[in-house]
């Protein structure tokens, strides 16, 4: 078996999921290569080597400077064929969700998305992925010759394992594409994305309004956390959509998830139930979030959160 890992990068910076997937491939003990697509993307091999990549192939073309789903998928599918890979490994990120199925279709490959465990079973892969909004965990096998697998960010911790990566550069055709990204408008500068954060503090309707979000932000800052929100808070216009956690928002797997004034509707749990530790603050002792929480604080958040902030500052 041979794995090809798609190196996800933006504006010259590699996304954490790429290192996590390298760690996963090393754990599996299967030969792997890393494919970087773009134009003049810089010396990413050094950073990839830090996590154990021994071979990095750059697929370059000036027209690939910005992400285009159909062009990137075509180049990636060619890369899989050229490298003779059996498995294409990517992140279950927005890009992975966009690119993975397109590449799978070009490769006539079966695909497993948002996987939380990938193991080797003989010369096959045994894959675990949540289904039905996280209500069941399915163990699956893919029966096609080439397989496409996207892995949920933060499930595997990236571990440094220094290696010197050999580099190949392939000049590729940028196939005529129908869609390309013209501009990426980033949100608040330096804001940590919930999908990459190790700690998340999320607020819900119990926050009562955007004027109280300084409590979420204050706690998050002291914990080095990203801020998240329930759909109720997003729909009310209190928070931007990129913070929404849940079935129609983002799926997160931090080490610590603090849910403040969030009831724990199934659609919210679908996005955060694989968090390692969950702390819930809610004044209703019967709130469903307490069934999942490792630690529950039954109290008025306007009393407890300021006290937590004071304690952390002390």
List interacting residues with ligand FAD (CB under 6 A).
204-206, 230-233, 244-249, 261-263, 265, 267-268, 271, 281-284, 287, 300-302
C-alpha 259/C-alpha 234 separation (Å) is 15
> At how many degrees (to 10) do helices 94-107 and 69-83 cross?
60
Angle at 153 between CA 297 and CA 190, to 5 degrees: 80
Judged by CB, which is closer to ligand FAD: 177, or 302? 302
**DSSP H stretches of helix in 121-252:** 214-223, 231-235
Helix (H, G, I), strand (E, B) or coil at 81: helix
Judged by CB, which is closer to ligand FAD: 77, or 225? 225
β-pair partners for 257: 200, 278
Provide the minimum distance between the beta carbon of 187 and ligand FAD in the complex, in angstroms, as a whole number: 18
Provide the minimum distance between the beta carbon of 204 and ligand FAD in the complex, in angstroms, as a whole number: 2
Judged by CB, which is closer to ligand FAD: 49, or 246? 246
Provide the minimum distance between the beta carbon of 110 and ligand FAD in the complex, in angstroms, as a whole number: 27
Tell me the two tokens of residue 305: 């959160």
C-alpha 133/C-alpha 303 separation (Å) is 33
Provide the minimum distance between the beta carbon of 138 and ligand FAD in the complex, in angstroms, as a whole number: 21
Judged by CB, which is closer to ligand FAD: 144, or 248? 248
Provide the minimum distance between the beta carbon of 176 and ligand FAD in the complex, in angstroms, as a whole number: 36
Which secondary-structure segment (H or E) carries 249?
A: none
* DSSP for 19-78, written as a single string: HHHHHHHHHHT--EEEEEEESS--SHHHHHHHTT--EEEEEE-GGGSS--HHHHHHHHHH
Provide the minimum distance between the beta carbon of 81 and ligand FAD in the complex, in angstroms, as a whole number: 37
Render the burial of 156-190: b for 16+ CB within 10 Å, e for the rest: bebeeeeeebebeeeebebeeeeebeeeeeeeeee
Judged by CB, which is closer to ligand FAD: 109, or 232? 232
Provide the minimum distance between the beta carbon of 130 and ligand FAD in the complex, in angstroms, as a whole number: 14
Judged by CB, which is closer to ligand FAD: 147, or 268? 268
Judged by CB, which is closer to ligand FAD: 56, or 215? 215
Judged by CB, which is closer to ligand FAD: 125, or 229? 229
For 182, residues 6+ apart whose C-beta sits below 8 A from its C-beta are 66
For 157, residues 6+ apart whose C-beta sits below 8 A from its C-beta are 20, 23
222 vs 68, 212, 225, 302, 311, CA distance in Å? 38, 17, 8, 17, 10
Provide the minimum distance between the beta carbon of 159 and ligand FAD in the complex, in angstroms, as a whole number: 31
């Amino acid at each position: 078996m041979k794995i090809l890992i798609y190196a996800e990068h933006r504006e010259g910076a590699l996304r954490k999921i790429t290192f996590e997937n390298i760690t996963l491939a090393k754990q599996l003990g299967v030969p792997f290569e890393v494919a970087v697509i773009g134009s003049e993307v810089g010396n990413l091999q050094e950073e990839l080597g830090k996590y154990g990549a021994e071979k990095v192939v750059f697929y370059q073309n000036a027209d690939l400077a910005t992400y285009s789903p159909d062009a990137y998928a075509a180049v990636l599918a060619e890369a899989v064929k050229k490298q003779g890979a059996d498995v294409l490994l990517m992140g279950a990120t927005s890009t992975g969700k966009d690119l993975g199925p397109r590449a799978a279709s070009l490769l006539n490959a079966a695909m497993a998305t948002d996987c939380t465990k990938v193991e080797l079973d003989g010369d096959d892969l045994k894959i675990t992925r949540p289904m039905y909004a996280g209500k069941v965990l399915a163990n699956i096998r893919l029966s096609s010759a080439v397989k496409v697998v996207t892995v949920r960010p933060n499930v595997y911790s990236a571990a440094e394992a220094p290696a010197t990566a050999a580099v190949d550069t392939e000049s590729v055709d940028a196939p005529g594409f129908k869609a390309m990204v013209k501009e990426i408008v980033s949100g608040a500068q330096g804001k940590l994305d919930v999908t990459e954060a190790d700690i998340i503090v999320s607020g819900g309707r119990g926050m009562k309004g955007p004027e109280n979000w300084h409590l979420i932000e204050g706690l998050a800052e002291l914990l080095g956390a990203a801020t998240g929100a329930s759909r109720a808070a997003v729909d009310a216009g209190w928070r931007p959509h990129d913070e929404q956690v849940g079935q129609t928002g983002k799926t997160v797997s931090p080490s610590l998830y603090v849910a403040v004034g969030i009831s724990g509707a199934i659609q919210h749990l679908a996005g955060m139930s694989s968090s390692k530790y969950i702390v819930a603050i809610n004044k209703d002792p019967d709130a469903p979030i307490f069934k999942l929480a490792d630690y529950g604080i039954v109290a008025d958040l306007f009393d407890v959160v300021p006290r937590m902030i004071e304690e952390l500052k002390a």
